[in-house]
Structure 1
Amino acid sequence: MAMTATETARQPAPKTKRVPFWDNARWVAVTLVIMGHATLKLISASDVAYAFYLFVYTFQVPVLVLVSGYFAKADPPNGRQLKRLLTDVVIPYLIFQTIWIVIQWAVEPGHPFKLDYTSARWTLWFLIALAIWRLVLPYLAMLKFPFLISVLVSFVSGYASSADDTLSLARVAALLPFFVLGWELRRRSHYARWWIAARGAVVWPVRAVAAALLVTAGVTMYFGIDAWRDLLVRRFLLFDEEYSSFGYDQWWAGFVRLLVIALALVMTCAVLVLVPRRHTFFTEWGSATMYIYLLHTFFLYPIRESGWLEDHSNVPVLAGMVALSIAVSVLLSQPFIRKVFHPLVEPRVKWLFHQRRAPA
């Protein structure tokens, strides 16, 4: 018997099939982010740690932002999408910002208790940025050259003193090209589909080139570490400051950012090329990215603030922090973590919204 139009409308929408490549990329990206955060306190006294830190920072955040952009929608947001933005991004930000305000007030001597939600604590800037990028994308998508415009925004923002840590505006503007590029990849999905479906005869030579490129970059970071320190390359890689705030008040400072963006895009592509395309032992962990991102800081904070890392800055400790980063990422990917922390990371707040009645 044929279904009526009403019955058809009531049928649940078919679930979108998850692509292993993107879940793998999510988990790899967030694990790289943890590595960068875990090794920061080692860089002041160790050239190896500093080189590793710069190497990871050339692509860790760009990979995460690009993958996030790939899953963004450029259609004008409807009521359901706006609710998702609130429940998936805004409310978790408010929850974790409050937690970190209390922790820093209680633990750090002299830290005032101030409920400030405009300056994100530590890693929470990404949630603010994600919310703004999602809201801005439909407007960018209306334009003819959204990626080039996003690069121009990033270029110009480094000259603006108003682009600071208020609502993470400096990073929102500076990293916008990677988010837009991720969306462009989805829009021109034949590129991504070609890579995911490509045969081994094509894949392995490309991966060999990508691996060689990453090795070359790592070696260059190490042997040129004194130059990179003097040039303050790290400050450019953070994408969070006006150029003049760290001594680059020349007219050409923005072109350095363009070079950094170009390097980050090349490195990001190399990393994504090496991500497995098939289902792996960590594919399922890719769906827990938000849990990993929001919770890993609670493991690193005591270690970072203890001062122990600065006093033990050597290669074995660096290796140990990298191993710890992977272990933390694996732990936070587990189902029981979701069960315990679901109210914080994915809060159910139906009570906050009007419940619309279905038409009779």
Structure 2
Amino acid sequence: MSNAATSAPRRDAFFDNAKYLAIVLVGVGHAWGQILDGNRTVETLYRFVYTFHMPAFIIISGYFSRSFDLSPKRVKRLITGVVVPYVVFEFAYSMHWRLLGGDPGHDISLLDPTYLLWFLCALFVWRLTTPIWRTLRWPLPVALVIAALASMTPTIADDLNMQRVLQFLPCFVLGLCLRPEHFALVRRRAVRIASVPVAALAVAVAWWSVPRMTNDWFYRNVPAQSTGSPWWTGPVLTLALFGCSVVLSACFYAWVPGRRMWFTALGAGTIYGYLLHGFLVKEGIYSGFFDRPFLDTPLGEIGVALAGATAVTLLCTPPVRRALRFVVEPRMEWAFRQDAGEAARDRRPPSAAQGPDTRVPAQERVSA
């Protein structure tokens, strides 16, 4: 077997499966979010899913950011894989709104992320600060303190959706702290069995919470005072939601298959499904599709969930990735200076390399 073959980075099927299934839940959640009015059953499932689907995704993002530093190669990847798609899709979402009859004077602001683009802002900030978290002795407690303080600080501006960036920060930092054996631990049969009653209890709590809590808590995008609650509820609910998110994420990971499945390859394209499915949801909102009475029936609710899952799946497929790679994962070699030492290292065979391999792992190259 050739050196090229033996040195090719291998993808872990478990993480690709987890990323795909998490992004499907994101699509289903966004679809359900449009038919919540007066529907307690859908809102219960919506809150249950929203408790862990983004945290589970963010934890994996943090896990694959462990080796991030400020080296030119990784900074380039941060720019091409996060900054450029953010700028492109911020413009695209704004134009989509204008073309469908929205406010023609709608401003395009890179400081105010549209809809689901907050995640790219957050990923940019989190990855830039990764060297700091990797240096601290107790990174997770520090991140939790920051999130708790943010949850009771109404003076934090909306720029870059900083409330979400800070309140979801502990999930990313947790991912930075995890090792392969931690994921192996939650994938044991005993954990898989225990996750069933835990998930059932979480659904029951979600049902109880519907008339008692606002959904803003699950979005993590506002301080406590904005929900009409006293300031001290911010830290309490931030810590409580973090604990619930971690437990339910562990339950989710416990049921993610570790072998290759028909959807495993789609895990490499989840950033496409994430960024593109928002256009479909917004199209449904602008066109009034979600106002149809049929969607308030059990069959309609199931149909919306299936449509969301199907749409995200199709948007993660190779044809879509090939067609849109130039904006989602552009190479942009023309925009960066070529470091002579880096070019020499890239030309050398792996067997001749000195010191640790600094190449970016295959799954780290995928931002979402």
Q: C-alpha displacement at 1:114, in angstroms?
A: 1.8
**Which among 229, 237, 255 is matched to residue 211 of structure 2?**
229
Structure 2 contact 186–250 (Cα < 8 Å) conserved: no
Structure 1 contact 164–240 (Cα < 8 Å) conserved: no
1:83–1:180: structure 2 CA closer, same or farther, 3 Å change rule? same
In the alignment, structure 1 segments of 5+ residues that lack a partner are 1-7, 197-202
Which deviations, in whole Å up to 9, do the C-alpha atoms of 1:217-253 show, x marking residues without a partner? 223423x2xx433322x21110111110111134343
Q: C-alpha displacement at 1:278, in angstroms?
A: 1.3
Find the counterpart in structure 2 of residue 199 from structure 1.
Answer: none
1:67 to 2:60 alignment: yes
What is the rounded CA distance, in whole Å, between the counterparts of 1:45 and 1:318 in structure 2? 13
What is the rounded CA distance, in whole Å, between the counterparts of 2:319 and 2:162 in structure 1? 35
1:295 to 2:292 alignment: no
What is the rounded CA distance, in whole Å, between the counterparts of 1:101 and 1:322 in structure 2? 26
Read off the aligned partner of 1:93 and give its amino acid letter: Y
Find the counterpart in structure 1 of residue 357 from structure 2.
Answer: none
Read off the aligned partner of 2:272 and give its amino acid letter: Y
Q: C-alpha displacement at 1:266, in angstroms?
A: 0.9
Normalising to structure 2: TM-score of the pair? 0.86
Find the counterpart in structure 2 of residue 200 from structure 1.
Answer: none
Which deviations, in whole Å up to 9, do the C-alpha atoms of 1:21-75 show, x marking residues without a partner? 1111110111111111111111113111111111111111111111111100355
Judge which range, 95-104 or 73-82, deviates more.
73-82
**Which among 212, 217, 225 is matched to residue 202 of structure 2?**
217
What is the rounded CA distance, in whole Å, between the counterparts of 2:143 and 2:155 in structure 1? 18
Find the counterpart in structure 1 of residue 333 from structure 2.
Answer: 350
Find the counterpart in structure 1 of residue 363 from structure 2.
Answer: none
**Which among 122, 127, 139 is matched to residue 134 of structure 1?**
127
What is the rounded CA distance, in whole Å, between the counterparts of 2:184 and 2:194 in structure 1? 20
1:204 to 2:195 alignment: no
What is the rounded CA distance, in whole Å, between the counterparts of 2:58 and 2:339 in structure 1? 34
What is the rounded CA distance, in whole Å, between the counterparts of 2:223 and 2:162 in structure 1? 11
Q: C-alpha displacement at 1:308, in angstroms?
A: 3.3
Structure 2 contact 186–251 (Cα < 8 Å) conserved: no
1:158–1:220: structure 2 CA closer, same or farther, 3 Å change rule? closer
Which deviations, in whole Å up to 9, do the C-alpha atoms of 1:51-105 show, x marking residues without a partner? 1111111111111111111100355320111000000000010000011111112
1:257–1:15: structure 2 CA closer, same or farther, 3 Å change rule? same
Q: C-alpha displacement at 1:153, in angstroms?
A: 0.7
1:157 to 2:150 alignment: yes
The number of aligned residues is: 339
Structure 2 contact 68–127 (Cα < 8 Å) conserved: no
What is the rounded CA distance, in whole Å, between the counterparts of 1:337 and 1:180 in structure 2? 31
**Root-mean-square deviation (Å):** 2.1
Structure 1 contact 48–315 (Cα < 8 Å) conserved: no
Counterpart mapping for 1:93-104 below 5 A: 93-104=86-97
Find the counterpart in structure 1 of residue 324 from structure 2.
Answer: 341
Structure 1 contact 164–241 (Cα < 8 Å) conserved: no
Read off the aligned partner of 2:24 and give its amino acid letter: T
Structure 1 contact 55–221 (Cα < 8 Å) conserved: yes
1:194–1:231: structure 2 CA closer, same or farther, 3 Å change rule? closer
What is the rounded CA distance, in whole Å, between the counterparts of 1:108 and 1:73 in structure 2? 44
Find the counterpart in structure 2 of residue 5 from structure 1.
Answer: none
What is the rounded CA distance, in whole Å, between the counterparts of 1:193 and 1:77 in structure 2? 30
In the alignment, structure 2 segments of 5+ residues that lack a partner are 345-368
What is the rounded CA distance, in whole Å, between the counterparts of 1:253 and 1:160 in structure 2? 9
Find the counterpart in structure 2 of residue 90 from structure 1.
Answer: 83
1:124 to 2:117 alignment: yes
What is the rounded CA distance, in whole Å, between the counterparts of 1:52 and 1:159 in structure 2? 27
The residue matched to 1:81 in structure 2 has which SS?
helix
What is the rounded CA distance, in whole Å, between the counterparts of 1:285 and 1:277 in structure 2? 15
Q: C-alpha displacement at 1:348, in angstroms?
A: 2.8
Find the counterpart in structure 1 of residue 352 from structure 2.
Answer: none
What is the rounded CA distance, in whole Å, between the counterparts of 1:205 and 1:50 in structure 2? 30
